[in-house]
């Protein structure tokens, strides 16, 4: 896992470390790491044109020292001092190395490399002048942009961006990752994130946000003693006469997700289609009077998924109530979330509940504004998990999974190509398969999001060859690519995976 800490915790760790080090050593460590990442970026270090955007804080000092290191190796380094004050030792080091100070902002236009040291991790709110003007000019240049610790204008703790911000190609962050580098909108400004170890590790508490590596994703594997019941039986309630496709896609996600058995229940048109496409499912046709007794009709299961395509009428409400009335883990998605927006009392249960909303569905659930949720995703997913007493998987540009009392999990595999009808239904079935297997709900939701995003990436660019173009995908393409996504976990190409 990549661990990220909010600014307050980083500051405390820095203070504790600085008390044990010679004066200035922490800044020297950061500057050396920044310079080491920057050095290979221009076509050649000697003679390259480097512009430093220098603010008033310690980031400005880091940038000046890094600029001095590059100047000693033959780069032409010019610093724009944009802050109300300047780190004097860093400025002396730059000048001693042959760098110079300029007030001519046009040097940005011809730069090979721009290092952003305007605002550090303590910055909040939009960039003020002249910082905003420098950010806009940098965005218009052809230079490679490296941000020091966090792109200026991005809130390091939350990822919020108000107005203009530096758009970096690379962000060099120190000591620990910052949540704003993982969570949109801030993550879109960060580019490739490089972590420099400056010795904070032993002084850092539990992280606020984590982002998994492939080795952290461990869906269950069958053992020699496994049978279909031990692997997990998922109860799936999806589809309606109007929305039959959601049922087929959710069932496909569950089958390809490795469920030992999928027990599917719905109206006859949806059952007929699921039976044709996924004959391994065990199906039950629900007549008008069967809704309240769906559990006994379907048979024994280890977890439920309810919601995709079921509609939002009284019948749908009864189906959601039946699933949530059980003592099993339940995942609620799509139409089921719309039902819960008016029947939040159904969430009063002791068994685990996983909710998988997009921003609009979460807005209805918690009575918030959709745009506010998109702007402050981390804040709202935490609040929703606490308010709804559930694990909340907030779908979107960066999918977040929150459980009260645990670090928020950020999925790193997402792609905008997933913004197409039906992919959420696939995610529901896939995550439901993991719930039925006995995975802890937070881990099941994290694994579901990770593999779902990975499968979409494989579906978009299936050939893995330079020059191969990307093509639009459908939800069914994601299902088809799931076995390949499983096989790539931890580089294990010998495991065929489900499907």
- Claim to verify: residue 128 and residue 262 sit in the same structural domain: no
Q: What is the mean pLDDT of residues 357-381?
A: 96
- Claim to verify: residue 226 and residue 296 sit in the same structural domain: yes
Among the candidates 211, 236, 264, a domain finishes at: 211
Q: How far apart are alpha carbons 115 and 140 in whole angstroms?
A: 15
Among the candidates 211, 236, 255, a domain finishes at: 211
Residue-level pLDDT at 461: 77
- Claim to verify: residue 129 and residue 232 sit in the same structural domain: no
Interacting residues of 37 by C-beta distance below 8 A, sequence separation 6+: 146, 170, 172, 194, 196
- Does residue 50 belong to any structural domain of this protein? yes
What confidence tens digit (pLDDT) does each residue in 268-282 have?
999 999 999 999 999
- Claim to verify: residue 135 and residue 78 sit in the same structural domain: yes
What is the domain-level CATH number for residue 293?
A: 3.40.1190.20
Average pLDDT, the chain: 93
- Does residue 497 belong to any structural domain of this protein? no
- Does residue 498 belong to any structural domain of this protein? no
Residue-level pLDDT at 464: 54
- Does residue 328 belong to any structural domain of this protein? yes
- Element (H or E) spanning 36, and its range? helix 25-38
- Claim to verify: residue 136 and residue 249 sit in the same structural domain: no
Residue-level pLDDT at 241: 94
Task: Name the pTM for this structure.
Answer: 0.93
Residue in 187, 280, 287 with CA at minimum distance from that of residue 234: 280
Residue in 273, 277, 262 with CA at minimum distance from that of residue 240: 273
Q: State what percent of residues in the chain have pLDDT above 70.
A: 95
Residue-level pLDDT at 370: 96
Strand partners, 54: 81, 117
Residue-level pLDDT at 294: 87
Q: How far apart are alpha carbons 74 and 249 in whole angstroms?
A: 58
Residue-level pLDDT at 292: 75
Q: How far apart are alpha carbons 230 and 224 in whole angstroms?
A: 11
Q: What is the mean pLDDT of residues 472-484?
A: 95
Inform me whether the pLDDT recorded for 466 exceeds 90.
no
- Claim to verify: residue 198 and residue 304 sit in the same structural domain: no
Residue-level pLDDT at 495: 44
What is the domain-level CATH number for residue 80?
A: 3.40.50.10260
Out of 118-127, 203-212, 484-493, give the one with best mean pLDDT: 203-212
Give the up-direction half-sphere exposure of residue 222: CA atoms within 13 A in the CB hemisphere: 18
Binding residues for (6S)-NADPHX are: 58-62, 120-126, 131, 149, 246, 309, 358, 425
- Element (H or E) spanning 95, and its range? helix 88-96
Q: What is the mean pLDDT of residues 62-74?
A: 96
Q: Characterise 261 by phi-psi region: left (phi > 0), alpha (psi -120 to 50), beta (else).
A: beta
Cβ–Cβ under 8 Å, residues 426 and 449: no
Inform me whether the pLDDT recorded for 74 exceeds 80.
yes
What confidence tens digit (pLDDT) does each residue in 420-441 have?
999 999 999 999 999 999 999 9
Binding residues for K(+) are: 59, 116, 152
Residue-level pLDDT at 221: 79
- Does residue 148 belong to any structural domain of this protein? yes
- Does residue 496 belong to any structural domain of this protein? no
Q: What is the mean pLDDT of residues 325-350?
A: 97
Interacting residues of 256 by C-beta distance below 8 A, sequence separation 6+: 430, 479, 482, 483, 498, 499
Query: How many domains are contained in the chain?
Result: 2
Residue-level pLDDT at 454: 95
Binding residues are: 58-62, 116, 120-126, 131, 149, 152, 246, 309, 358, 395-399, 424-425
- Claim to verify: residue 384 and residue 287 sit in the same structural domain: yes
- Claim to verify: residue 377 and residue 453 sit in the same structural domain: yes
Kindly report which listed range (83-97, 291-305, 405-419, 429-443) carries the lowest average pLDDT score. Answer: 291-305
- Does residue 295 belong to any structural domain of this protein? yes
Under the banding of pLDDT at 50, 70 and 90, the label for residue 463 is low
Going 385 to 262 to 399 to 410, the CA torsion angle's sign is positive
Residue-level pLDDT at 462: 67
Binding residues for AMP are: 395-399, 424
Q: How far apart are alpha carbons 347 and 216 in whole angstroms?
A: 30
- Element (H or E) spanning 62, and its range? helix 58-72
Q: State what percent of residues in the chain have pLDDT above 90.
A: 87
Residue-level pLDDT at 123: 87
- Claim to verify: residue 412 and residue 282 sit in the same structural domain: yes
What confidence tens digit (pLDDT) does each residue in 308-332 have?
999 999 999 999 999 999 999 999 9
Residue 72 is part of which domain span?
A: 2-211
Among the candidates 164, 179, 211, a domain finishes at: 211
Q: How far apart are alpha carbons 176 and 212 in whole angstroms?
A: 15
Under the banding of pLDDT at 50, 70 and 90, the label for residue 83 is very high
Under the banding of pLDDT at 50, 70 and 90, the label for residue 493 is very low
- Claim to verify: residue 129 and residue 240 sit in the same structural domain: no
What confidence tens digit (pLDDT) does each residue in 218-274 have?
988 777 766 676 789 999 999 999 999 999 999 999 999 999 999 999 999 999 999
DSSP notation for 394-459: E-SSS-EEE-TTSPEEE-S---GGG-STTHHHHHHHHHHHHHHTT--HHHHHHHHHHHHHHHHHHH
- Element (H or E) spanning 495, and its range? none
Residue-level pLDDT at 43: 74
- Claim to verify: residue 167 and residue 293 sit in the same structural domain: no
- Claim to verify: residue 124 and residue 13 sit in the same structural domain: yes
- Does residue 499 belong to any structural domain of this protein? no
Q: How far apart are alpha carbons 199 and 30 in whole angstroms?
A: 10
Under the banding of pLDDT at 50, 70 and 90, the label for residue 496 is very low
Residue-level pLDDT at 231: 80
């Amino acid at each position: 896992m990549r661990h990220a800490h909010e600014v307050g915790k980083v500051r405390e760790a820095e203070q504790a470390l600085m008390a044990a080090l010679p004066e200035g050593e922490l800044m020297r460590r950061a500057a050396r790491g920044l310079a080491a990442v920057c050095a290979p970026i221009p076509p050649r270090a000697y003679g390259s044109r480097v512009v430093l955007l220098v603010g008033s804080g310690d980031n400005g000092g880091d940038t000046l020292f890094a600029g001095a290191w590059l100047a000693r190796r033959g780069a032409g380094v010019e610093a724009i001092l944009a802050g109300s004050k300047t780190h004097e030792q860093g400025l002396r080091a730059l000048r001693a190395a042959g760098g110079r100070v300029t007030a001519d902002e046009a040097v940005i236009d011809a730069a090979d490399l721009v290092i952003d040291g305007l605002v550090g991790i303590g910055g909040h709110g939009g960039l003020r002048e002249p910082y905003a003007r420098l950010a806009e000019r940098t965005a218009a240049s052809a230079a490679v942009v490296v941000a020091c610790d966090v792109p200026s204008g991005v809130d390091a703790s939350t990822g919020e961006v108000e107005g203009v911000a530096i758009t970096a190609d690379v962000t060099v962050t120190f000591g620990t990752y910052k949540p704003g580098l993982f969570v949109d909108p801030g993550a879109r400004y960060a580019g490739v994130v490089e972590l420099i170890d400056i010795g904070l590790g032993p002084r850092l508490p539990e992280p606020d946000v984590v982002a998994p590596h492939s080795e952290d994703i461990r869906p269950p594997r069958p053992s020699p003693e496994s049978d279909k019941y031990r692997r997990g039986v998922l109860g799936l309630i999806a589809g309606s006469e109007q929305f039959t496709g959601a049922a087929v896609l959710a069932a496909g996600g569950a089958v390809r997700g490795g469920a030992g058995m999928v027990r599917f229940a719905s109206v006859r048109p949806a059952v007929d289609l699921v039976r044709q496409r996924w004959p391994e499912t065990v199906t039950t046709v629900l007549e008008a009077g069967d809704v309240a007794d769906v559990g006994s009709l379907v048979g024994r299961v280890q977890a439920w998924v309810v919601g995709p395509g079921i509609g939002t009428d009284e019948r749908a409400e009864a189906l959601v109530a039946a699933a949530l009335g059980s003592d099993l883990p339940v995942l609620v998605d799509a139409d089921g979330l719309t039902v819960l927006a008016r029947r939040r009392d159904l969430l009063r249960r002791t068994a685990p509940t996983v909710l998988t909303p997009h921003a609009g569905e979460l807005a209805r659930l918690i009575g918030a504004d959709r745009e506010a949720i998109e702007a402050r995703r981390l804040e709202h997913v935490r609040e929703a998990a606490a308010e709804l007493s559930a694990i909340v998987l907030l779908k979107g540009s960066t999918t977040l999974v929150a459980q009260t009392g645990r670090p928020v999990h950020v999925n790193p595999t997402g792609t905008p190509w997933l913004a197409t009808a039906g992919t959420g239904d696939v995610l529901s079935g896939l995550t439901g398969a993991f719930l039925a297997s006995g995975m802890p709900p937070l881990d099941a939701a994290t694994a579901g999001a990770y593999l779902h995003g990975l499968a979409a990436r494989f579906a978009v660019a299936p050939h893995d060859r330079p020059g191969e173009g990307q093509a639009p995908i459908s939800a069914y393409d994601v299902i088809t690519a799931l076995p390949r996504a499983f096989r790539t976990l931890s580089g294990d190409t010998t495991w065929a995976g489900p499907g």
